[in-house]
Amino acid sequence: MSLALKSVDKTESKVKVKGIKSNDVVGAFGYWIGIIITLGFILIPIFWIGLTSLKTYQQSYTLDLFFGPTLDNFKIIFDDPLTMGPKLLNSLTVGILTVVIAIPLAMMAAYAFSRFRFRGSNLLMVWVLTTQFIPPVVIILPFFNLFRAVGLIDTIQGLVILDLAIVLPYATWMIKGYIDSLPIEVEEAALVDGANDLGILYRITFPLVMPGIIVAAVFGFIACWNEFLFALIIGSRNTQTLQVGFYGVASGPRGLQWELMSATGMLVMVPILILSLLIRKHFVGGLTMGAVK
């Protein structure tokens, strides 16, 4: 009797083990299928844009995967009349200047919101966040009239000021989350040692939240890099950015020139991809830093 029970228990345990193994196999298969489908949605459009940028005008209307690649499209977009070189320089200048100005100001504002309690601080922080919900098309017309009166139309300074209106509130809100996650005891120890608030900010807090600052700077630069409406209305011949140049390629006299649009699209994407790869370690650390207190 006991031997029969033992044999039944062994059979049931083997069935359970087989069931667990089969569930693991099915789960792993579904996991990898999900990853492949997700990567397909992300990478296939980028791959096709890169492929089209190497095709001729006639080949760009075909689905050929094997053809004689050419770099003439990149030469064309940098020559007259498209001249993407100055537009690329304008985009880099506006993005870098905006980030260089916004990050120190956002750092000080975020520290004040995080560590000090004053009358109306919560209301002021809500107001800062509310500015992110205002559509750019609403504020562009008042800014246009103001800039026309003070002579900032078609200037880099005007574009930087407009981009600051977007980047500064966002960076303030993001950096505040990182500062909130820091233990205040570290700053109190520095205060006991004789450091003032400004010294604590730049010698203690700033290095500790550096990954978060890098994330805020990268997101701010991407926002400036992708900005189109401000550059289209405020900018003109001298301050056209890469996004406006891309629009010019799409609305050229020959209609949609897919090969030139793809080459310009690669020019827009590649700097951001390179930047993301260079700071990927800090990027991951910064994203997770502000999520856990």
pLDDT, tens digit, 9 for 90 and up, residues 117-145: 778 778 888 888 888 888 888 888 888 99
Confidence at residue 97, expressed as pLDDT on a 0 to 100 scale = 96
| 3-class secondary structure per residue, 253-276 | CCECCHHHHHHHHHHHHHHHHHHH
Render pLDDT for 2-21 as a digit per residue (tens, 0 to 9): 544 445 455 555 444 445 55
Residue that wins the pLDDT comparison between 251 and 75? 75
pLDDT tier, 23 (very low <50, low <70, confident <90, very high otherwise): low
CATH class of 74-289: mainly alpha
pLDDT in tens, 84-114: 999 999 999 999 999 999 999 999 888 888 8
Residue at 51: amino acid letter: L
Distance of alpha carbon 126 from the chain centroid: 23
Using one digit for the tens of pLDDT, what is the confidence trace for 162-193?
999 889 998 998 888 888 888 888 888 888 87
Say if residues 242 and 268 touch (Cβ distance below 8 Å). yes
Structure tokens at 205: 């807090």
Angle at 65 between CA 59 and CA 70, to 5 degrees: 50
Q: How confident is the model at residue 289 (pLDDT cuts 50, 70, 90)?
A: low
What mean pLDDT comes out for the span 49-73? 88
245 closest CA partner among 92, 91, 87, 52:
87
CA-closest candidate to residue 262, choices 274, 251, 249, 272: 249
Let me know: does 128 contact 174? Beta carbons within 8 Å: no
Distance CA 209, CA 183 (A): 12
214-237 pLDDT per residue, tens? 888 988 999 999 998 898 888 877
Cβ proximity of 110 and 169 under 8 Å: no
The backbone torsions φ and ψ at residue 235, rounded to the nearest 5 degrees and listed phi first, read: -80, 165
| DSSP code of residue 56 | -
pLDDT classification of 288: cutoffs 50, 70, 90 = low
SS3 of the chain: helix, strand, coil, percent, to 5? 80, 0, 20
Q: What is the dihedral of CA 270, 274, 280, 282, to 10 degrees?
A: -120
Local confidence band at 282 (pLDDT 50, 70, 90 cut-offs)? low
Residues 116, 133: Cα–Cα separation, whole Å = 26
Residue 22 or residue 268, greater confidence:
268
**For the chain, what is the radius of gyration of the CA atoms?**
27
Mean pLDDT of all residues belonging to the chain: 82
CA-angle at 195, arms to 189 and 199, nearest 5°: 115
